[in-house]
Amino acid sequence: MKTDTAIFYIKYYAKKHDCIIERKATLDEECFEGVHKKFGYPYKKYIDVNATEEVDNGQPQYRTASKKWEINNQPTLSN
């Protein structure tokens, strides 16, 4: 697994959390943008940098943003 060295922040509505969330992210060869086969909405698969560091098992922690998302160079939400 080779990760991209570029770090970005991805912000989107997370149905699981019922709010807008923002994650520190990067990409590797497993990450991509696609369209849901059944429902037709767009999605983006990315690596959650903080979760990967937290779990620390040598495996990237993938997440998926669905429908619409925003990419930024700096965090835009306060904790």
Written as six digits, the tokens of 33 are 């943008």
Note whether residue 37 is domain-resident.
yes
Note whether residue 64 is domain-resident.
yes
How buried is residue 4: exposed, middle or buried, by Cβ count under 10 Å (0-12/13-18/19+)? Answer: middle
Note whether residue 27 is domain-resident.
yes
Q: What is the pLDDT of residues 1-46, one digit of tens each?
A: 566 679 999 999 999 999 999 999 999 999 999 999 999 999 999 9
Q: Name beta bridge partners: 76.
A: none
Note whether residue 77 is domain-resident.
no
Note whether residue 32 is domain-resident.
yes
For residue 6, which of 21, 23, 24, 30 has the smallest C-alpha distance?
Answer: 24
Q: Which domain holds residue 53?
A: 8-72
Cα–Cα distance, 79 to 71 (Å, whole number):
18
pTM: 0.89
Question: Which letter does DSSP use for residue 15 in this model?
Answer: T
Q: What's the structural domain count of the chain?
A: 1
